[in-house]
Amino acid sequence: MKLYSDLARYQGNEALFEAVEMSIVSTLAGLPLHVHAEGLRGTGKTTIFRSAAGVMPTITRIKGCLYNCDPAEPHCPEHRNLSPEEIDRIGTEEILMPFLEISHSAKIGTVAGSIDLAKITDKTHPEAALLPGIIPQAHRGIIFIDEINRLADTSPEITDILLDVMGTKPGRVQIEETGLAAVEVPVQVSVWAASNPDEDPGPLSDVRKQLSDRFDLVIDMGRPDKVEAVAGILRQNRQRRTKSSTRAGLSHRGNEQVRKRLLAAAEMLDDLWVPDYVEDLLAEVYVKFGIESLRAVEAAQLGAQIRAALHKRHHVEVYDVVAVLPWALNHRVFPERLEEILTYLKERRFTTEKPQGSSRDRESQKTTGSLARIFGSGRVKSGPKETQPAPPKPARPISELAVDEAVATEGDL
């Protein structure tokens, strides 16, 4: 498997790298963020998703718990009623954030859970017990599904399970076996998926609209269209095949640097400031353009927060919303409507009203200017100066549909 830090980045796949990192940060903070990549075969969707397993941070769980119970919030049938003292006696351990896959041949028992054959056949102490499946074992981690449009078409029962898992945050999964009481377990898991909408059975939104809407962000993957980008990929492939121990060490250190950056972003989320005018703008887009699903603006809100944290800022700005909004709307509105929304955002101007409410609200209103300046050479400043550092320049430009035009003149971001 190619190392995540070694993968070539170009205009067509940059958005997926950012969405993957946003989802890892969000999952680490206990806020699942579901990501679906759509694009032609050979564009590297699956490679990016799978290689991201190499930058997963660690989590702390109750020692030996297959459900990955957080010692501070045990949730599984075995540990949820234990006292802190009892958990201390069991002990804890550090493991990598789970990364598990659901295959097209998977059975319901494999995905949700089934009878624990090892316990029921134990000659010294046989007992009927449930063994958690892929979903409950991925708690506090990631589940990846390749060609999810095919899975939705051929496995409606598993699709129904995914709807329960992704319908709320945290989701839930119910483990059922004949002769045993059903067990319902909460799960905090982010679902990643890839599909080719040009192949049978077609786009996921046509196969199972409910499941499509469960994804917070949908990324349209593009192929490299510049000679330099393709040549760079070929050179990386050649160097990887002949990689020296020194270069291999540098690659692994690259993965470790990504991991540290994601951990730092997750730690920032609790103290991240979201100005009222940012949420007001999202609400305005939802109402004015008749967005069908409230999940769209909720996903944009969360995505904007994580994007700000990844760029080491302590507050969210409107350009964070503009950057992630196409990903939250790709599968929920027609392309023409998305262009209309982005054009509206570029032309939208905030009006400065008389300060009311809390001191933070007054500060927000006083420092809110024209949104047009965000897309031009100026910038709307917000929040107390001592806690709102200037946004740093990102490592890579944002690129997705018309958002290219929307944030191209963002200035020093």
Same structural domain for residues 23 and 148? yes
SS3 for 361? helix
Give the separation between CA 146 and CA 149, rounded to whole angstroms: 9
CATH number at residue 288: 1.10.8
CB 22 within 8 A of CB 299: no
Same structural domain for residues 25 and 153? yes
Strand partners, 185: 173
CB 18 within 8 A of CB 327: no
Domain end, chosen from 220, 238, 254, is at 220
Token digits for 134? 């892929």
Low-confidence stretches of the chain (pLDDT < 70) are 1, 115-129, 178-179, 240-251, 349-413
Measured over the CA atoms of residue 140, residue 144, residue 150 and residue 154, the dihedral's sign is negative
Please give the backbone phi and psi of residue 74, each rounded to the nearest 5 degrees, phi first: -65, 135
Please give the pLDDT value at position 235. Answer: 78
Token digits for 360? 């933070």
Measured over the CA atoms of residue 137, residue 141, residue 146 and residue 150, the dihedral's sign is positive
SS3 for 130? strand
In a domain, 234, yes or no: no
Give the chain's count of helices (H) and strands (E).
19, 11
Measured over the CA atoms of residue 247, residue 251, residue 252 and residue 254, the dihedral's sign is positive
Same structural domain for residues 292 and 196? no
Please give the pLDDT value at position 127. Answer: 53
Rounded to two decimals, the pTM is 0.81
In a domain, 228, yes or no: no
Q: What's 276-313 look like in SS3? A: HHHHHHHHHHHHHCCCCCHHHHHHHHHHHHHHHHHCCC
Same structural domain for residues 181 and 322? no
Please give the pLDDT value at position 115. Answer: 65
Please give the pLDDT value at position 11. Answer: 85
In a domain, 18, yes or no: yes
In a domain, 230, yes or no: no
Same structural domain for residues 23 and 160? yes
The residue written with tokens 């949104």 in the block is: 371
Residue 141's Cβ-count burial label (10 Å; 0-12, 13-18, 19+) is: buried
Instruction: Please give the C-alpha separations between residue 206 and each of 34, 198, 266, 379, in angstroms, as whole numbers.
Output: 19, 12, 35, 40
In a domain, 260, yes or no: no
Measured over the CA atoms of residue 87, residue 91, residue 97 and residue 101, the dihedral's sign is negative
CB under 8 Å to 356, separation ≥6 — which residues? 362, 365
Q: Which domain holds residue 175?
A: 4-57+97-220
CB 401 within 8 A of CB 326: yes
Residue 105 burial (CB count, 10 A): 8
CB 193 within 8 A of CB 215: yes
CATH number at residue 151: 3.40.50.300
